[in-house]
Amino acid sequence: MSFDREQVADIARGVERYTDNIIAFLRDLIAIPSTSTREGDCIRRIRDEMQKVGFDDVRIDAIGNVIGTIGTGRRRILYDSHIDTVGVGDRAAWKWDPLQGKLENGIVYGRGASDNKAAIACMVWGARAMRDLGLLPDDATLYVAGIVQEEDCDGWAVHEMITTQGVRPECVVLGECTNLQINRGHRGRCEIRVTTKGVSCHASAPERGVNAICKMMPIVAGIEELNGRLKDDPFLGRGTIAVTSIECKAGSLNVVPDECTIYVDRRMTVGETTESSIEEIRSLPGAEGAEVSLLTYDSPSYTGYRPKWEKYFPTWVLEEDHPLVQAGVRCGERLFGGRPRTSKWVFSTDGTATMGRLGIPTIGFGPGEERHSHSVDDQVSVEHLTKSAMFYALFPMVYCEETR
């Protein structure tokens, strides 16, 4: 199907009649605090909006994600927008109320505006425009999901939804901010704990014991040195490693400690895995006998669903010429003229689970800019909201055409 200017104008008009709804919905969502594990009120607000918009089915799953469905076809497309946010932090650092959802000169401000509440607002109303205009192919199903706990443990909640709650998409579009470009991957990460053991004794005669901190020192130095030697990738860049915390067990300040633990943040590029990252630390000079392990995530969701999740978030990249990437590019091109750039995120997303762990082709397209996320300038423009809703309205059709 060829696409002419008139059809694009129809989609623009079809979305613009809902611009006020998108803005009002987003401002409401910003006004409902939803830090990780406390998303219940925000999820219920989204459920109500989906019902008002007229999704065929709306439900909250056992984990606490909200899922709206349109269509019953076998080609299943998932739109994923996490709806938890990081906290507000120091309120005095904000120039406006972070929970008010201020609208000024075509920009909506507040915690979660860019990361990632704008996306769910655009997805919900974009789906409405899609339905009004008859843009969903008969053989397709669109799921729009508001996902919990992404900030705390990226990928866990969407992984549970896909593997236990009957939502089985063939592809995923993440709403994380991409500045209206198409993103197709990011570095992975894992959180590692290293523990050394010593023998405690009175600190007045340290030669009688073995100081666990001193045993840790060469390991810390070795980790720092690893940085220059980690793998590089032309698209994702270099892997990195950093010691981010240190603690020790000693009975008192006059006791030689018999245990020391450090925490390590490891960012992995193409060709690096958790296993290789752990092995690197194990083979550092001085690390013989140290315990090296992955951390686990176990904070229950607001519905009481309990994770048991290794803090391992694999690297993922979808090839530039993959049909899903090309469908995203084509969709942006048709709607906005110029060919969208394909890029990557610096931060991590639910894609670590959908593409990284489950191998489901995943891309990102979303309103807002990554530099505003988690900052006191958290914001999104109304122009981005309408353009994203247009993209979400048209994408299922372009994708089904490209991959038929």
Q: Exactly one of 115, 150, 151, 378 is catalytic; which is it?
A: 150
Q: Assess whether 84 carries a catalytic annotation.
A: yes
CB of 116 to Zn ion, least distance (A): 4
> 195 or 352: whose CB is closer to Zn ion?
352
258 touching Zn ion, by CB under 5 A = no
Cβ neighbour number for residue 26 with a 10 Å cutoff: 27
> 261 or 375: whose CB is closer to Zn ion?
375
34 touching Zn ion, by CB under 5 A = no
Q: Assess whether 383 carries a catalytic annotation.
A: no
> 116 or 183: whose CB is closer to Zn ion?
116
Question: Cα(363)–Cα(385) distance, rounded to whole angstroms?
Answer: 18
Stretch near Zn ion under the rule CB under 5 A, chosen from 112-120, 185-193, 268-276, 292-300: 112-120
Measured in degrees and rounded to the nearest 5, phi and psi for residue 337 equal 90, -90
CB of 115 to Zn ion, least distance (A): 4
Binders of Zn ion in range 174-193 (CB under 5 A): 176
Which residues, at least 6 apart from 346, have a Cβ–Cβ distance to it below 8 Å?
186, 370
84 touching Zn ion, by CB under 5 A = no
283-286, Cβ contacts within 8 angstroms, sequence gap of 24 or more: 284/218, 284/219, 284/222, 284/223, 284/226, 285/218, 285/222, 286/215, 286/217, 286/218, 286/219, 286/222
Question: Cα(304)–Cα(299) distance, rounded to whole angstroms?
Answer: 9
> 116 or 386: whose CB is closer to Zn ion?
116
Stretch near Zn ion under the rule CB under 5 A, chosen from 39-47, 170-178, 244-252, 383-391: 170-178
Choosing from 61, 80, 115, 280, the residue that interacts with Zn ion (CB under 5 A) is 115
116 touching Zn ion, by CB under 5 A = yes
Question: Cα(242)–Cα(190) distance, rounded to whole angstroms?
Answer: 11
CB of 304 to Zn ion, least distance (A): 24
Pairing of strands 75-82, 342-343: unpaired
Stretch near Zn ion under the rule CB under 5 A, chosen from 69-77, 113-121, 215-223, 240-248: 113-121
Secondary structure (3-state) at 230: coil
Helices in 40-182 by DSSP H: which ranges?
40-53, 118-132, 156-164
81 touching Zn ion, by CB under 5 A = no
Residue 38 gets which letter from DSSP?
-
Question: Which string of b and e fits 228-240 if b means at least 16 CB within 10 Å?
Answer: eebeebeebeebe
154 touching Zn ion, by CB under 5 A = no
Residue 181 gets which letter from DSSP?
S
152 touching Zn ion, by CB under 5 A = no
- Among all residues, whose Cβ is closest to Zn ion? 115
CB of 184 to Zn ion, least distance (A): 16
Which residues, at least 6 apart from 147, have a Cβ–Cβ distance to it below 8 Å?
65, 80, 81, 82, 83, 157, 158, 161, 350
CB of 37 to Zn ion, least distance (A): 16
Q: Exactly one of 61, 80, 84, 191 is catalytic; which is it?
A: 84
Binders of Zn ion in range 194-253 (CB under 5 A): none
Q: Which residues carry out catalysis?
A: 84, 150
> Which chain residues interact with Zn ion by CB under 5 A?
115-116, 176
